[in-house]
């Protein structure tokens, strides 16, 4: 059941399932909380109270906002955690990975652990050699085109590259839902505005994070020529001993939707280890 929370600048939508320690799931650009539908049941079975949130501008949240940065998104996530009686494990995909970093740095008492899925958490720089990687070249051109022109066909084409190999059984339903949402008034404008933001604000806070951080990358993620190197760079910028990198073979930019069981297993193993240490 959808619930709503008024935050600074608008209203965000979310739903809560289960009982136990709180876990907040935040999706990526141009998506909705439906991205996590395959992960929620096993996380609930594992004993978590799972809150899946629609980012500002996305899903059932308000479409019109003045600010789209990761810092702004982090404020929304922290407001939700407070509202639901945190602290919480904070899970963020892509743009929300950077937002989760900022939230953990700002309010360490509210964030017990962070899981970043294919995160944009550092300032990006494209090198000439990167363009020789076909997967990266294809993804970048489609992603940039979708953002610049507000093109649904280009975004759909990007998603096709971002899900390498066999598509999930719910592929047509999933992409149909994404396209339907982006056709709603203001949603494509929100998508474009979020796409123009930089992860530099998140990168600047990496060294301040004290919560344990798990970074999960797909080996075939088209958003980076070398996904492993990007994940390692994020972990390397965190305080020593804080971060861990895990790679999922064959996954693209949506490991949580392509391989939800694998992602859940990695998360639960990580959280169990950190709980034991605490």
Q: What is the pLDDT of residue 276?
A: 43
- When divided into structural domains, the chain yields a total of 1
Say whether the peptide bond before residue 87 is cis (omega within 30 degrees of 0): yes
Mean pLDDT, consecutive 10-residue stretches, the chain (278 aa), reads 96 97 97 97 97 98 96 98 96 98 97 98 85 89 92 96 94 95 96 95 97 98 96 97 97 97 97 63
What domain range includes position 179?
Answer: 3-277
- Asked whether 216 and 266 are in contact (CB, 8 A), the reply is yes
CA distance 227 to 259: 17
* Domain CATH number, residue 175: 3.40.50.1820
Q: What is the pLDDT of residue 125?
A: 81
CA distance 169 to 30: 21
Q: If you search the block for the tokens 């904070």, which residue do you land on?
A: 90
Q: What is the pLDDT of residue 209?
A: 98
The tokens describing 237, both together, are 């910028």
CA distance 231 to 42: 25
């Amino acid at each position: 059941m959808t619930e709503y929370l008024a935050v600074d600048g608008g209203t965000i939508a979310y739903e809560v399932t289960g009982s136990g320690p709180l876990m907040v799931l935040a999706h990526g650009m141009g998506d909705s909380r439906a991205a996590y539908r395959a992960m929620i049941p096993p996380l609930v079975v594992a004993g978590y109270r799972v809150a899946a949130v629609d980012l500002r501008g996305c899903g059932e949240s308000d479409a019109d906002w003045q600010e789209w940065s990761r810092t702004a998104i982090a404020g929304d996530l922290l407001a939700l955690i407070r509202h639901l009686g945190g602290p919480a494990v904070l899970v963020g995909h892509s743009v929300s990975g950077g937002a989760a970093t900022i939230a953990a740095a700002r309010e360490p008492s509210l964030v017990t652990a962070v899981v970043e899925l294919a995160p944009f958490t550092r300032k990006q720089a494209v090198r000439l050699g990167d363009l020789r990687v076909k997967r990266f070249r294809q993804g970048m051109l489609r992603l940039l085109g979708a953002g610049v022109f507000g093109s649904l066909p280009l975004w759909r084409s990007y998603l096709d590259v971002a899900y390498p190999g066999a598509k999930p059984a719910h592929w047509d339903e999933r992409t149909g839902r994404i396209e339907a949402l982006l056709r709603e008034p203001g949603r494509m404008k929100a998508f474009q505005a979020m796409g123009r933001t930089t992860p530099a604000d998140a990168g600047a806070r990496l060294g301040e994070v004290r919560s344990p951080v798990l970074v999960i990358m797909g080996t075939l993620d088209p958003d980076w020529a070398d996904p492993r190197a990007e994940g390692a760079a994020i972990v390397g910028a965190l305080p020593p001993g804080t971060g861990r990198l895990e790679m999922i073979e064959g996954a693209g930019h949506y490991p949580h939707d392509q391989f939800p069981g694998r992602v859940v297993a990695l998360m639960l193993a990580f959280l169990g280890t950190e709980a034991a240490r605490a």
